[in-house]
Structure 1
Amino acid sequence: MGSKTRSWWGWGNVEDAVTGAERAEITRRTAEMLPGADLTVHEAPPIESFEVRASRVQAPPALASIASADVRDRLAHSHGQAFRDVVRALLGRLPHVPDLVVRPTSEAQVVDLLDWCSDADIAAIPFGGGSSVVGGVEPRVGDAYAGVVSLDMGAMDQVLEIDRTSRAALVQAGVLGPHLEDQLRPHGYSLRFFPQSFEFSTLGGWLATRAGGHFATNLTHIDDLTESMRVIAPSGVLESRRLPGSGAGPSPDRMFLGSEGALGVITQAWVRLQDRPRWRAGASVGFADHDAGVRAVRALSQSGLNPANCRLLDPMEAFINAAAPTAVLVLGFESADHPVNASMERALDLCRDHGGTLAEEPRYADTAEQDARTGAADTWRNSFLRMPYQRDALAAQGMIVETFETACTWDRFGTLRAAVDAAAQDAMRQVGAEGVVTCRFTHVYPDGPAPYFGVYAAGKWGRTVEQWDEIKQAVSEALISCGATITHHHAVGRDHRPWYDRQRPDLFAAALQAGKTVLDPAGILNPGVVIDPSGSSRDAHGPRADNAPGR
């Protein structure tokens, strides 16, 4: 990332924010889509305007050199990167700020930190890149603790060992995506895990949230790339055995994948590497009938071809992000071992069987450096990378621009799509926000898709957080009622807890609670995320009192 400056309130780097012609263009397109929107630009308040209380705790001497009480540092660690986080920062509403930010450089310091927090009754919230969109790093823990510490793992960011025979690497959890790839590239390897947050998220964060990455089929989750993990809990250290697979009882890795720092701090992991791809193929397929596109994607997911990219954009999503007039399937194949021309040609045959058409021929590449992109696929990729920055720009103009994702079986998708659309439209009417709902597939499986929905609505400045919360509640109810999951790859955090609690079996919740009691007896690790600490007085995932007066 060079010398660029991370934004303390919004997505990414300050230097990459939407300005000038780009801002004028998205404003024009938004006004065309929603003529009644008030698109006045609102600027972020200065850091000095925030009333941040003095730190309630002081780090012990052994940790003092890695602890920060700087106000800007604490504010930057007080929230994630969801729409509601960004808008609250723009409005000067960040009431939950950690008392300290601590950056350990070794496992010994992590142990010391957890010992101190357990003894002093201080909540410790693991923090990777801070890209959570579900309240996963927000110190919203109530007043049941003497203080809150943000445990920033960014200083532990090295590839420690590469096993070329097994094609795996031992990597520290605090490494950001680009730095990880930079360390693997000289060896000819890649993790090939590229979530949209890639530049600003860490391996530990991916593991803790069961993140979804680059591939639309096969190796979709970080779970698939995990060989073993090392975790430090307040009760001790756990390290699973390196194995390609095992049937020896419940997997210890599975306990910590998706645990979001509530059971222990992931410090390092052995991950399965990929040879860097050489052969690529890319194409854009148009569908006049979106339902036909859905059927084509289902056929592709069940064909065994395993495309690397298989993203179906509905007509509105395609128009907003790829300037395409119909539903578009962004299709891609890649391999380090063999040309993929035959796979692409067979995939296109399947698409044609369902009415798919190509505006231009597919593009093929035989090089280690060049992507095979074409037409709407190229436009989509560029738009995909700019989406979070454009979201921030529109959020500062009173727009409600947010996403939510899920997964369901193919037989339920039609019902789910209709229910989500109806719930969102009704909620937008209720809160007085005219808007549209879009849908795309990010990942597809033989038994179902992972639909990724977007809401673009004209909100009322000063009330857009509350308006979005009402919409979010309505669509979340629709997801659970239709038998879908509350999240496919965005994690649970604090914001998804009410629906996650309904999705998981009660006996599993009790077992998880027992596990937390053993691993974290003092209940100091990320309270309210995934599972509560023992005792109802420490229920930290309740109503969001921070939203606005009257809520």
Structure 2
Amino acid sequence: MSARTRSWWGWGYDDGHQPVEALRAAAPAIVQQLGFGSAEVEEPARLADVLATLPAPRVPVPAALRGILTTDGEQRIRHAQGKSYLDTVRAFRGVIEHPVDAVARPRDEHELEAVLAWAADARVAVIPYGGGTSVCGGVEPRELGPRFEGAVSVDLGALDALHELDDVSRAARIGAGASGPRLEEQLRAHGMTMRFFPQSFELSTLGGWIATRAGGHFATVWTHVDDLVESVRAITPIGAWASRRLPGSGAGPSPDRLLLGSEGTLGVITEAWVRVQPRPEHRASRAVRFPTFLAGADAVRALSQSGLLPANCRLVDPLEAQQTGAGDGTTALLVLGFESTDHDVADRLDRGLAICREHGGSPDEPRAGGAVSAWRDAFLAMPYLRDTLMQVGVLADTFETAITWDRFPAFHETVVGATRAALGEPCRVTCRFTHVYPDGPAPYYTVIAPARRGDEVAQWQAMKDAASRAIVAAGGTITHHHAVGRDHRPYYETQRPDVFAAALRGAKAAIDPAGVMNPGVLLPAEA
């Protein structure tokens, strides 16, 4: 079987996108269902045409690093940006505004150290790539300014091995370049799993998860990768950074906590010890219908405060349930699930369903397939669907946040209103809860509107700015699990204390004296 080829312009793999002939046949039905869009299907720019206009690298590759660095044009394009709507629509039109000058593929830490030393001396920005799935401008070398001669993307795909497995403590030491499937494949051979499944699972990497404080699929308890990390090792411009492997510690500020969420600004994460467990044998789930989204939110709050700790507690508003084939648009849908490696979970599901009934919920009858399966399949296909809609003249994007329960109803109304006002009519703004805590939910919004073809970047920017301002002004966080990057940094700066920003600048100056590590992320490039 031949290896799958990643799309150079859009999400995922080429074979995950609709062939243009099939899309042309489906376009009229898509337009009819949405009420907007175009039956005129656009095709992405040809990679060969983009390569023909790619500028030459600005910096020469030293002879000693030619086995590690490449200036191949296609690799430079593929590592130039992430997979946000902004990234994708520009690539779709053949626009690569900030190509990297070289791509580094170190095979061990010594080679990585050599790349960092060269970059500091040559004034070359270093952009850790991970799986390239950033949706917030985290891997695009923009805003570099005159201080830098060029930029190099560092791809740790070769550092993907399972090095050690401690089945007594249930932990594993794994290379940061391991993608989700690669990581789970290696653990599965030992009957273990990390139990961490972000929507980007098939492409994103362990190092990327840690660097961005990624969120997994499970809705309570261990929601972020933070909760699964025992220790982290990184290579910084001034040496190795490795925290001690411990189940917990009260010894001052934690070394691995500072690397979590550092987004490549302090160094390149090379490996980590993470908590693993046997694959769960006991599972139970059910779909529950609620007359309104806010009624469902009240039930989810009760569930999150009950101590039942469901593995899945995804509340989807009526319109999103309809769009994913899991509802008819008249009721909100809750996907409620429990799992365990040790014991039957039927009693926990029964109590969870009782709480739902107390709040006006109506559980579906248990059956194979059904709404739970329909929503799960749609969840995995959503990133590909965004690209499909782009081809038929529809803007589709997402953003997410977190807010406390007491403020959620007013917050939700404010954010939806600001987003709709920025897009104009017609548009759709839907919401689901991806994660829930005893003190609040993590709402995840999806926006769909007619695209202004050829002007999508400005249209998206107006929507993004309006939604982001509304989120921060109403007391939410600019991101719950999508990271900061360059797109969210202006809003991140408004929600963090000034004294913390000063401390972060000090840490970066000490660890990265030349300022080459992912400049413009978390801090302005000049910082």
The answer as to 2:451 corresponding to 1:459 is yes
Counterpart of 1:543 in structure 2 is none
Residue 116 (structure 1) aligns with: 118
Trace 1:20-39 onto structure 2 (pairs within 5 A): 23=23, 27=27, 30-39=30-39
Q: 1:31 Cα shift? A: 2.0
Aligned mates of 2:280, 2:23 — CA distance in 1: 35
| Whole-angstrom distance in 2 between the partners of 1:84 and 1:205 | 20
Q: Does 1:415 align with 2:410?
A: yes
> Relative to structure 1, is the Cα distance of residues 2 and 344 closer, same or farther in structure 2, using a 3 angstrom cutoff?
farther
Distance 2:21 2:310 in 1: 35
Partner of 2:212: 209
Identify if the C-alpha distance between structure 1 residues 194 and 29 changes in structure 2 by more than 3 Å, giving closer, same or farther: farther
Alpha-carbon offset, residue 33 of structure 1 = 4.6
Pairing 1:61-460 to 2, within 5 Å after superposition: 61-140=63-142, 141-325=144-328, 326-361=331-366, 374-429=369-424, 434-460=426-452
TM-score, reference length from structure 2:
0.96
Residues 283 and 374, structure 1, Cα contact 8 Å, conserved in 2: no
The residue type equivalent to 1:149 in the other structure is: V
CA distance in 2, matches of 1:479, 1:322: 29
- 1:55-86 Cα offsets, whole Å, 9 max, x none, are 12222233211222111111111111111111
Q: RMSD of aligned C-alpha atoms? A: 1.6
- Structure 2: distance between partners of 1:75 and 1:475: 30
C-alpha separation in 1, matches of 2:325 and 2:302: 24
Q: 2:54 aligns with which of 52, 58, 75?
A: 52
Shift of 1:246: 0.6
Residue 124 of structure 1 deviates from its aligned partner by: 0.6
CA shift, 1:357, in A, is 0.8
- What SS is found at the alignment partner of 1:204? helix
Superposed CA deviations along residues 378-423 of structure 1, whole A, max 9, x for unmatched, are 0011111111111101112221100000000001110111001110
Corresponding residue number in structure 1 for 2:468? 476
Change (3 A) 1:164 1:25: farther
Deviation of 1:427 (Å): 0.5
Aligned length: 522
Structure 1 residues 240 and 138: alpha-carbon distance in aligned structure 2, compared to 1, 3 A threshold? same
2:177–2:206 contact (8 Å) kept in structure 1:
yes
Q: For each residue in 1:242-273, what CA deviation from the matched residue of structure 2 results, as whole angstroms up to 9, or x when unmatched?
A: 11011111111111100100011100100000
Residues 176 and 271, structure 2, Cα contact 8 Å, conserved in 1: yes
How far apart in 1 are the matches of 2:507 and 2:451? 43
3-state DSSP class of the match of 2:412?
Answer: helix
CA distance in 1, matches of 2:498, 2:88: 34
Question: For residues 150-182 of structure 1, what are the alpha-carbon distances to aligned partners after superposition, in whole Å with 9 as ceiling and x for unaligned?
Answer: 011111100100111111011110000000000
Any conservation in 1 of the 2:292–2:317 contact (CA below 8 Å)? no
Counterpart contact for 1:97–1:139, Cα < 8 Å: yes
Are residues 1:41 and 2:44 paired?
Answer: no
| Structure 1 stretch displaced more, 22-31 or 239-248 | 22-31
The DSSP-based 3-state class of the residue aligned with 1:386 is helix
1:532 CA drift (Å)? 2.8
Contact kept in structure 2, 1:81 and 1:130, CA below 8 Å: yes
> Could you list the runs of 5+ residues in structure 2 that have no partner in the other structure?
none
In the alignment, is the contact (CA less than 8 A) between 1:513 and 1:532 conserved in 2? Answer: no
SS of residue paired to 1:187: coil
Aligned AA (1:478): A
Stretch deviating more after TM superposition (393-402 or 59-68): 59-68
1:501 counterpart residue number: 493
In the alignment, the residues of structure 1 paired with residue 188 and residue 467 of structure 2 have an alpha-carbon distance, to the nearest angstrom, of 41
CA positional deviation for 1:526: 0.4
Aligned to 2:524: 532
Task: State the Cα distance separating 1:511 from its structure 2 match.
Answer: 0.3
| C-alpha contact (below 8 Å) 2:124/2:149 kept by paired residues | yes
Judged with a 3 Å threshold, the aligned counterparts in structure 2 of structure 1 residues 255 and 86 are, in CA distance, closer, same or farther, namely same
| 3-state SS of paired residue (1:58) | coil
In structure 1, give the amino acid aligned to 2:11: W
User: Structure 1 21/49 Cα, relative in aligned 2: closer, same or farther at 3 Å?
Assistant: closer
Conserved in 2, the CA contact under 8 Å of 1:134 and 1:491?
yes
Residue 39 of structure 1 deviates from its aligned partner by 4.1
Equivalent residue number for residue 10 of structure 2: 10
> More displaced, 343-352 or 27-36?
27-36
CA distance in 2, matches of 1:482, 1:166: 43
Q: Distance in 1 between matches of 2:123 and 2:507?
A: 19
CA distance, structure 1, for counterparts of residue 29 and residue 94 of structure 2: 28
Query: How far has the Cα of 1:92 moved from its partner?
Result: 1.4
Deviation at 1:25, TM superposition (A): 8.7
Q: Is the 8 A contact 1:231 1:266 kept in 2?
A: yes
* Contact residue 34 and residue 458 of structure 1 kept, 8 A: no
Partner amino acid, structure 2, of 1:41: V
CA distance in 2, matches of 1:26, 1:143: 48
**Does the residue aligned with 1:199 lie in a helix, a strand or coil?**
coil
For structure 1, the residue ranges without an aligned partner over 5 or more in a row are 364-372, 536-551
> How many percent of aligned residue pairs carry the same amino acid?
53
Q: CA separation in 2, counterparts of 1:115 and 1:315?
A: 54
Q: 1:428: how far off?
A: 1.0
**Structure 1 residues 342-375: Cα deviation after superposition (integer angstroms, max 9, x where no partner):** 01000000001011112312x6xxxxxxxxx641
TM-score by length of 1: 0.92
Which of 388-397 and 487-496 deviates more? 388-397
Provide the rounded CA distance (Å) in 1 between the counterparts of 2:385 and 2:279. 31
1:545 is aligned to none
Structure 1 counterpart of 2:350, one-letter code: E
User: Over residues 100-147 of structure 1, what are the superposed CA-to-partner deviations in whole Å (9 max), with x where a residue is unaligned?
Assistant: 011001000111110000011000100111000000001112443111
Moved more, 266-275 or 59-68: 59-68
SS in 2 for 1:111: helix
Contact kept? 1:399, 1:464, Cα under 8 Å: no
- Note the C-alpha offset of 1:21: 9.4
Secondary structure, in 3 states, of the residue corresponding to 1:333?
strand
Q: Contact 1:34 / 1:434 at 8 angstroms: preserved in 2?
A: no
For the residues of structure 1 that align with 2:281 and 2:449, how far apart are their CA atoms?
42
How far the C-alpha of 1:329 sits from its partner, in A, is 0.3
